[in-house]
Homo-oligomer: A and B are copies of this chain.
Amino acid sequence: MTIKECAEFLRLRDDYLILTHRKPDGDTLGSAAALALGLRSVGKRAVILENPEITPRYAALFGGLGIFGASDGGGKTIVAVDTASPKLFPDNAKKLGAIAALAIDHHPSNTRYAENLCLDSNAAACGELVFAVLNELGADVGAETATAIYIAVATDTGCFSYGNTTADSFRIASETARLGADVAELNRVLFRAKSKSKIALEGYIYSNIVYSHGGRAAVLTIPAEILARTAEDDLENIAAIPASAEGVIIGITLRELADEIRVSVRTAPGCDANVFSGRFGGGGHAQAAGFSIKQPLADAQSRIAEAVDGLFGK
């Protein structure tokens, strides 16, 4: 489905229920908020299904817009944003996600679970697609909508520093700034201000990256006891850190959760994170992907080490 077709689809329907993915980030929430506000600006009813995993930082940014609600079970048009697979919905959205009429996404690994799919894997953020769709739809993009789009694009590009950042990402940021997004304040909240707990976490992270294979692989393990004293907000974007070390081709971050090990993979061009993660049943993008793996931690570590051996030789 092209941007034009997607806008046409939205023009013809009403009563939108918008779904976000679990562990909601700035892109899924910003995309959903912009879509809800934009649809309302053209006279549609639109609400975002409450996401039980929203963090305080994002609740502060999006909570006051009056766009979140529970599902009333009525005949809604269900739209999922930034969600590659039905597995990625939070529990309260799983049934609804399975009958989604439309997914707007930028993950090449999208499983095509929705009836219709508007996908552009060249977009740095799903919010870039939502912005294009809203413009095509003739939506009124005011300061709140522009802010939501800015948050989506800025967070998914690591404040325009990641390899996915394009001329379009910058163009959209420029337009949202002109439309009223308070870039200075948003950047302060999203990127510059660090909680003391985040600083303590970074102290742990930067001291505990383990390099191997001639410095080409970097593995970071965050054990349960560190996670226990870390706020969820503080964990955003930490997966980029091991791969940021000079010479590293693949950076792998393991988080020891209660029931599983959550693994994030970041790679340099030439090494496919999506393929690597696919071997463990996960996926994502070529340079950023992830998967979950069973406890215990030591087994997970050695299975991953074997897979890294497979990339570089032992």
Which residues on A are within 8 Å of B, measured CB to CB?
Answer: 159-171, 173-175, 177-178, 183-184, 187-188, 191-196, 199-200, 202-209, 211, 215, 240-241, 244-247
Given A170-B170, A193-B244, 7 more A-B residue pairs with CB atoms under 8 Å apart are A161-B192, A164-B184, A170-B173, A170-B174, A170-B177, A171-B171, A204-B206
**Candidates B165, B194, B208, B209; contact of A183 at CB < 8 Å:** B165
- In the docked arrangement, what's the CA distance between A40 and B168, Å? 29
In the complex the two chains form, is B203's CB within 8 Å of A208's CB? yes
For A160, A166, A188, A194, the residue with the greatest tally of chain B CB atoms inside 10 Å of its CB is A160
Are B163 and A187 interface neighbours, CB within 8 A? yes
Asked whether A161 and B159 contact (CB < 8 A) given A173-B170, A194-B244, the answer is yes
Contact yes or no, A245 B196, CB < 8 A: yes
Q: Are A246 and B194 in contact (CB under 8 A)?
A: yes
Quick check: A207 and B200 within 8 Å, CB to CB? yes
Task: Return A155 CB to nearest CB of chain B, in Å.
Answer: 12
Q: Are B207 and A183 in contact (CB under 8 A)?
A: no
Residues in B whose Cβ lies below 8 Å from that of A194 = 244-246
Report the Cα distance A162→B183, complex, angstroms.
9
Minimum CB–CB distance from A267 to chain B (whole Å) comes to 13
List the number of copies, as a whole number.
2
Residue of B nearest to A183 (CB): B165
**Which residue of A168, A188, A199, A200 has the most chain B CB atoms within 10 A of its CB atom?**
A199
**Pairwise interchain contact B202-A202, C-beta atoms closer than 8 A:** yes
Closest 6 CB pairs of A and B: A203-B207, A203-B206, A170-B174, A167-B177, A163-B184, A171-B174
Decide if B245 touches A199 in the complex (CB within 8 Å): yes
Tell me which of B165, B191, B196, B199 contacts A187 (CB under 8 A). B165
Given A166-B177, A171-B171, CB of A192 within 8 Å of CB of B244: yes
Contacts of A196 in B (CB 8 A): 211, 215, 245-247
Q: How far is the CA of A196 from the CA of B165 in the complex (A)?
A: 24
Cβ-neighbour of A199 out of B164, B175, B209 (below 8 A): B209
Q: Is the CB of B166 within 8 A of A183?
A: yes
CB distance from A268 to the nearest CB of B (A): 8
**Cβ contacts under 8 Å, A246 to chain B:** 193-196
CA distance A174 to B162 in the complex (A): 15
Complex partner residue of A204 from B164, B192, B207, CB under 8 angstroms: B207
A231 to chain B, nearest CB (A): 11
- Given A196-B211, A207-B203: A174 in contact with B168 (beta carbons within 8 A): yes
Nearest-neighbor residue (CB-CB) of A175 within chain B: B167
Q: How far is the CB of A123 from chain B (nearest CB, A)?
A: 14
